[in-house]
Amino acid sequence: MTKLNGRECYNFISDSGHGWLAVKKSHITELNLQDSISRFSYVKNNIIYLEEDCDANKFIQAYKNRFGYNPDYCESVVDGQSKIRRYEAYTQ
C-alpha cells in the first residue's frame, strides 16, 4: 500500500482474467470482515488479496460505512497470469 493525497492507497492488481484488491489483514480485522471473506481470495504474509467480484466489494462497502468515503486505490495490470493465483486461499 502506498499513500495517495495523504491517504492510504490500496493496490488493485489484475491479470488477463481476474483482479484482487490488496488489503492488510489488520484492516480486514478492524472492519470485522474476517469471517465473511471467501476462499476465492488469497493471502500472503499479512496481505489479503480480495477477489474483485465479491470480497473486494464487501471491503469497500464496510470501509465507506466506517469512514464515510470510498477507499483510494491504485491499479496495476500484470501480463499473463498473476502470481497471486499461486498464493494460499484465504481461511479464517
2-36: pLDDT as tens digits: 444 556 789 999 998 999 999 999 999 999 999 99
31-90: pLDDT as tens digits: 999 999 999 999 999 999 999 999 999 999 999 999 999 999 899 999 999 999 999 999
pLDDT, residue 9, reads: 87
57-82 burial string, b = 16+ CB within 10 Å, else e?
ebbbebbeeeeeeebebeeeeeeeeb
- How many CA within 13 A on the CB side of residue 76? 12
pLDDT, residue 8, reads: 76
The structure's pTM equals: 0.90
pLDDT, residue 26, reads: 93
Q: How far is CA 65 from the centre of its chain?
A: 17
